[in-house]
Amino acid sequence: MKKIRDLSCSEAEFEYEKIRGEYEKYCKSGLSLDLSRGKPNSDQLNASAGILDLSLSREDCINPLGIDYRNYGFVDGIPEAKELFADLLGLDKNNIVVAGNSSLQLMYDALSRAMLFGTPDSTCPWCREEGLKWICVVPGYDRHFKITEDLGFELISVKMTENGPDMDEVERLCLDPKVKGIWCVPKYSNPTGNTYSDETVRRLASMKCAAPDFRIMWDNAYAVHAFGENDDKLLDIFEEAKKYGNENRVLYFASTSKITLPGAGVAIVAASEANIADIKRRMGTQTIGYDKINQLRHVLYFKNAENVMLHMKKLGGALNTKFEILSEALMPLKEAGVAEWTKPNGGYFISLDVTFGSAKRVYELMKNAGVTLTSAGATFPYGIDPEDKNLRLAPSYPADEDLALASKILVLAVLLSALETKIGK
Amino acid sequence: MKKIRDLSCSEAEFEYEKIRGEYEKYCKSGLSLDLSRGKPNSDQLNASAGILDLSLSREDCINPLGIDYRNYGFVDGIPEAKELFADLLGLDKNNIVVAGNSSLQLMYDALSRAMLFGTPDSTCPWCREEGLKWICVVPGYDRHFKITEDLGFELISVKMTENGPDMDEVERLCLDPKVKGIWCVPKYSNPTGNTYSDETVRRLASMKCAAPDFRIMWDNAYAVHAFGENDDKLLDIFEEAKKYGNENRVLYFASTSKITLPGAGVAIVAASEANIADIKRRMGTQTIGYDKINQLRHVLYFKNAENVMLHMKKLGGALNTKFEILSEALMPLKEAGVAEWTKPNGGYFISLDVTFGSAKRVYELMKNAGVTLTSAGATFPYGIDPEDKNLRLAPSYPADEDLALASKILVLAVLLSALETKIGK
Q: Which helix (H) or strand (E) holds A361?
A: helix A359-368
Tell me what the mean pLDDT of segment A365-380 comes to: 97
A339 min Cα distance to partner chain B (Å): 30
Nearest Cα of chain A lies from the Cα of B256 at a distance, in angstroms, of: 12
Q: How big is the CA angle at A334 (ends A332 and A337), to the nearest 5 degrees?
A: 110
B320 touches chain A (CB under 8 A): no
CB contact under 8 A, A116 and B127: yes
Contact A233, A196 (CB under 8 A): no
Handedness of CA B181, B185, B191, B195 (dihedral sign): positive
Q: Which residues of A touch B315 (CB under 8 A)?
A: none
pLDDT of residue B187: 98
User: In this prediction, what percent of chain B has a pLDDT beyond 70?
Assistant: 100
Put simply, the chain B residues between 49 and 68 with a CB less than 8 A from any chain A CB are 49, 52-58, 60-61, 68
Q: Are A248 and A275 in contact (CB under 8 A)?
A: yes
Does residue A425 have a pLDDT over 90? no
Q: Which of A256, A213, A217, A325 is nearest to A77 (CA)?
A: A256
Residues with Cβ within 8 Å of A98's Cβ and at least 6 positions away in sequence, in order, are A76, A77, A78, A81, A82, A85, A266, A267, A268, A290, A295
* A396 touching B (Cβ < 8 Å): no
Q: What is the mean pLDDT of residues A293-303?
A: 98
Picking from B308, B392, B380, the residue whose alpha carbon sits closest to that of residue B350 is B392
On the CB side of B328, CA atoms within 13 Å amount to: 10
Kindly report the pTM of this predicted structure.
0.97
Please say if the pLDDT value at position A247 is more than 80: yes
Question: Across all residues in chain B, what is the average pLDDT?
Answer: 97
Interface of A with B in 83-122 (CB under 8 A): 100-102, 104-105, 108-109, 112, 115-117
Structure confidence by residue, pLDDT tens digits, B228-250: 999 999 999 999 999 999 999 99
CB atoms within 10 A of CB B336: 21
Nearest-CA distance from A261 to chain B in Å?
6
Angle, alpha carbons B104-B107-B109 (nearest 5°): 110
Best B72, B78, B107, B281 member to test A by mutation, with max A CBs in 10 Å, is: B72
* B400, pLDDT greater than 90: yes
Contacts of B100 in chain A (CB under 8 A): 100-101, 290-291
Report the residue of chain A nearest B145, measured CA to CA. Answer: A285
Does the beta carbon of A77 lie under 8 angstroms from any beta carbon of chain B? no
Confidence of residue A131 (pLDDT cuts 50, 70, 90): very high
* CA dist B136 → B20, B125, B150, B155, B182 (Å): 37, 22, 14, 6, 6
Written as one letter, the residue type at A137 is V
Residues of chain B above pLDDT 90, percent: 98
The pLDDT of residue B425: 80
Residue window 247-276, chain A: list those with CB within 8 Å of chain B: 257, 261-264
| SS3 labels along chain B | CCCHHHCCHHHHHHHHHHHHHHHHHHHCCCCCEEECCCCCCHHHHHCCHHHHHCCCCCHHHECCCCCECCCCCCCCCCHHHHHHHHHHHCCCHHHEEECCCCHHHHHHHHHHHHHHHCCCCCCCCHHHCCCCEEEEEECCCHHHHHHHHHCCCEEEEEEEECCEECHHHHHHHCCCCCEEEEEECCCCCCCCCCCCCHHHHHHHHHCCCCCCCCEEEEECCCCCCECCCCCCCCCCHHHHHHHCCCHHHEEEEEECCCCCCCCCCCEEEEECHHHHHHHHHHHHHHCCCCCHHHHHHHHHHHCCHHHHHHHHHHHHHHHHHHHHHHHHHCHHHHHCCCEEECCCCECCCEEEEECCCCHHHHHHHHHHCCEEECCCCCCCHHHCCCCCCEEEECCCCCCHHHHHHHHHHHHHHHHHHHHHHHHCC
Q: Which residues pair with B326 in a beta bridge?
A: none
- ipTM for the whole complex: 0.96
Question: Edge-to-edge strand order for the sheet containing A390-393?
Answer: A339-341, A350-354, A390-393
Helix B292-302 with B305-329: angle, nearest 10 deg: 90
pLDDT in tens, A318-344: 999 999 999 999 999 999 999 999 889
- Residues A363, A364, A367, A371, CA torsion sign: negative
Residue B1 has pLDDT above 80, yes or no: no
**Domains contained in chain B, CATH given:** 4-45+309-423 (3.90.1150.10), 63-305 (3.40.640.10)
How far is Cα B32 from Cα B259, in angstroms, rounded to an integer? 27
Distance CA A412, CA A19 (A): 6
Closest to A56 measured CA to CA, from A284, A397, A297? A297
CB B266 within 8 A of CB B78: no
Q: How confident is the model at residue A37 (pLDDT cuts 50, 70, 90)?
A: confident
Q: What is the pLDDT of residues B131-188, one digit of tens each?
A: 999 999 999 999 999 999 999 999 999 999 999 999 999 999 999 999 999 999 999 9
For A282-295, how does the pLDDT look when each residue is reduced to its tens digit (9 = 90+)?
Answer: 999 999 999 999 99
SS3 A269: strand
**pLDDT over threshold 80, residue B29:** yes
Question: Do the Cβ atoms of B127 and B115 come closer than 8 Å?
Answer: yes
pLDDT tens-digit map of B262-309? 999 999 999 999 999 999 999 999 999 999 999 999 999 999 999 999
Cβ pair B252, B261 in contact under 8 A: no
Residue A73 touches partner B, C-beta closer than 8 Å: yes
Of chain A, the percentage scoring pLDDT greater than 70 comes to 100
Nearest-by-Cβ selection for B71 from A40, A53, A70: A40
- Among the partner-chain residues A53, A56, A100, the one whose CB lies closest to the CB of B100 is A100
Select from A46, A102, A127 the Cβ nearest to the Cβ of B288.
Answer: A102
Residue A249: DSSP 8-state = G
Residues of chain B neighbouring A52 (CB-CB closer than 8 A): 55-57, 60-61, 70, 293
Q: Measured between CB atoms, does B37 come within 8 Å of chain A? A: yes
Predicted local distance difference test score (pLDDT) of residue A1: 75
> What is the amino acid identity at position A83?
E
Looking at residue B233, its amino acid is K
pLDDT of A99 higher than 80: yes
Among B75, B293, B315, B374, the strongest candidate for a mutation testing the A interface, having the largest count of A CBs within 10 A, is B293
Predicted pLDDT of residue A11: 95
What's the confidence (pLDDT) of residue B37? Answer: 86
Measure A301 CA to nearest chain B CA, in Å: 13
Q: Looking at CA atoms only, how far is residue A132 from chain B in angstroms?
A: 14
